[in-house]
Amino acid sequence: MKYNSVFDIIGPVMIGPSSSHTAGAARIGKAAHSLFGRAPTWVKIHLYESFAKTYKGHGTDFALVGGLLGFDTDDTRMKDALKIAKERNMQIEFIEDSAAVNHPNTVRLKIGDVGDSLELVGVSIGGGKVEITELNGFELRLSGNHPAILIMHNDRFGAIASVTSVLAKHEVNIGHMEVNRKDVGKEALMVIEVDQNVDDDILRELEKAEHIIRIVKINS
């Protein structure tokens, strides 16, 4: 079976009562799992507005955790995700956050293990579709409709050119690209949507480009 992206509802069956609160939540959790590269050992889940009010009744809690465990949205283990996470000693904290957000179905995931951590904000926009709007403090807009490369780099002259020249050499076409930085000369984030999956050998070449810190890819 071919999957379009880590955000897609995989298969014909959607576990849970709500596409926004369950399938969308599972996609956000799975996106965090994919970006982190593995299941975390600790999780703090900040839920806002509608998510905060209904997360237990609509299955948002088990859907987010199931996604963080790497489960697809039609995985039969999804409804037992909280139990499975406990058996795997995943430490989970749900926080009903009253901070203002732009969308009622918003969640902030803070996840990690002994080696690393990650923080992202995801929004379930309806029909099981989601957007990732923040990653480790950087604003972005990632929907998963296309393969993408996320590149953390030092904000230095030539960093962007060093990446785009490698992609051009391998005839990888850029469909959309955005760059965000926290401050001049500090860390910055490139989000590049491309027209085809990027091979690992190209990623290894990109990692050698100037000022690159870390690269994560999302395949279609």
pLDDT of residue 220: 61
Q: What is the residue-level pLDDT of the chain in tens, covering all 220 positions?
A: 344 454 443 333 455 556 667 888 998 999 899 889 899 999 999 999 999 998 888 899 999 999 999 998 889 999 999 999 999 999 999 999 999 999 999 999 999 999 899 999 999 988 778 889 999 989 888 876 678 899 999 998 889 999 999 999 999 999 989 999 888 878 999 999 999 889 999 999 999 888 898 898 877 6
pLDDT of residue 192: 93
Tell me the domains of the chain and their CATH numbers.
6-136 (3.30.1330.90), 148-218 (3.30.70.260)
- Select from 60, 65, 57, 107 the least CA-distant residue to 82: 65
Calpha distance 110→119 (Å, rounded): 4
Query: Strand runs (DSSP E) across the chain, as ranges?
Result: 42-48, 91-97, 106-112, 117-126, 129-135, 138-142, 148-154, 174-181, 187-194, 212-218
pLDDT of residue 46: 98
Calpha distance 55→164 (Å, rounded): 42
CA atoms within 13 A on the CB side of 52: 16
Tell me the per-residue pLDDT of 60-80, one tens digit each, with 9 for 90 and over. 999 999 999 999 888 999 999
* C-alpha distance from residue 50 to each of 31, 42, 57, 96, 122 (Å): 21, 24, 11, 10, 14
pLDDT of residue 17: 54
Residue 190's CB is within 10 A of a number of other CB atoms, namely 22
- DSSP, res 173: P
pLDDT of residue 127: 76
pLDDT of residue 182: 81
pLDDT of residue 4: 47
pLDDT of residue 204: 93
pLDDT of residue 10: 37
Length reported for the chain: 220
pLDDT of residue 13: 47
pTM of the model: 0.81
Calpha distance 27→88 (Å, rounded): 21
